[in-house]
Structure 1
């Protein structure tokens, strides 16, 4: 397949997990990718694994200066045909444990960052480009320990719906990926025992009775980034094994 032949795709948070799986497949389908990340080891590994034409950039979506740096670094890459706003992180805790510091940290990374990235990179998008925003099934689960994280991911859904209306005049499509439990390192911040208990509980609620793979989630994102979804915008696509049936 050559769905991405001649296309330039940018993936924030693309050095591991779903984003990295997507980057490798885009290259295999003829595209060029630019990926961002923060972890030095993953940045180095991505540089080795992706093609020589790829850009691997250290970038923190929570920092305003890094948003400008990203735009400048992407100028030689050329006009952007696909922008996948995938970077983010999670923390869990009770509603009573939320602090102003924790609120600001996760909101800056998961909401402020994508909002400002879109604002800055919009001028570098080709007319007819596609934008994919990674939210989470946590938005709809109502889990007791994820109120702050779920709030950030719900905000992304609202942002994307407005972007779909605002950018339609340029024929730019905006859609949301809603991953459920995916086998990635995303919950690395949790102690091993707690993480395993949490994941076992969540998987027990899934009709398909298993977690998804990064490749399965990336496949849906790539459908949305490609011309195969040319009449799809303002939509949400759940990749969650049936966990959230809305």
Structure 2
């Protein structure tokens, strides 16, 4: 297949997990990718793996000045046929444990980052381009320790609907990927014991009775980023084994 032949896509947070798998698939299908990340070692590994069809850029989505800097670096590779706003961070805290610093830190990466990136990068999108935002099933799960994280992802879902309407006159589609429990390094901030406990709890509620893989999530992401989804906009696609179905 060559769905991305002669196309250039930018993936924020693309040096590991779902983003990296997506970048790998885009290159395999003839496209070029620009990948951002915060971990320099992972960026170097991604650059080596993806080869000459990829450009890697160190970028901290939580830094309010980073979006303008990213736009300057991306100009040399514009226009963009796709933009996947995937960079995010996570934390667990009961409601009474949240303080101003933890609130600001999570909102800066997960909400302010994508908002400012879209503001700076949208002018580089081609007519008919696709924008994808990564949300999370946490926005719907009602888990007591993920309220703040879920709130940031609920904001992403709201932004998707607004942006889908705003950019429709340019033929630009905007959709949301809603991953459930996917096997990636995203929960590495937890201790091994806490991670096992959290994942066991979540997976026990999944009708398919297993976590998903990064490949399974990336497959849906690439459908939404490709022309195969040319009549899909303002939508949410859950890749969660049935966790949040209603």
TM-score bracket, shorter-length normalisation: over 0.9
Q: Who is 1:134 aligned against?
A: 134
Question: How far apart are the structure 2 equivalents of 1:116 and 1:40?
Answer: 22
Q: Who is 2:147 aligned against?
A: 147
Partner-residue secondary structure (3-state), 2:53: coil
Q: Who is 1:117 aligned against?
A: 117
Question: How far apart are the structure 1 equivalents of 2:64 and 2:89?
Answer: 17
Question: How far apart are the structure 1 equivalents of 2:154 and 2:65?
Answer: 25
Note if 1:57 corresponds to 2:57. Answer: yes
**Alpha carbons 2:31, 2:53 under 8 Å: kept:** no
Question: How far apart are the structure 1 equivalents of 2:208 and 2:51?
Answer: 35
Q: Who is 1:86 aligned against?
A: 86
Q: TM-score normalized by structure 2?
A: 0.99
Question: How far apart are the structure 2 equivalents of 1:5 and 1:47?
Answer: 19
Partner-residue secondary structure (3-state), 2:84: strand
Query: CA offsets, 1:121-160, max 9 Å, x none?
Result: 0111111100000000000001000010000000000011
Question: How far apart are the structure 2 equivalents of 1:182 and 1:88?
Answer: 14
Question: How far apart are the structure 2 equivalents of 1:53 and 1:22?
Answer: 13
Question: How far apart are the structure 2 equivalents of 1:242 and 1:165?
Answer: 28
Q: TM-score normalized by structure 1?
A: 0.99
Consecutive aligned runs of 4 or more in structure 1 exceeding 2 Å deviation: none
| Paired residues for 1:1-246 under 5 Å | 1-246=1-246
> In the comparison of the two structures, how many residue pairs are matched?
246
**Alpha carbons 2:134, 2:176 under 8 Å: kept:** yes
Partner-residue secondary structure (3-state), 1:237: strand
Question: How far apart are the structure 2 equivalents of 1:89 and 1:48?
Answer: 24
User: How far has the Cα of 1:75 moved from its partner?
Assistant: 0.9
Moved more, 200-209 or 27-36: 200-209
Query: CA offsets, 1:44-63, max 9 Å, x none?
Result: 10011012131101001111
Question: How far apart are the structure 2 equivalents of 1:6 and 1:52?
Answer: 14
**Alpha carbons 2:9, 2:81 under 8 Å: kept:** yes
Query: CA offsets, 1:6-33, max 9 Å, x none?
Result: 1001000000000000000000000000
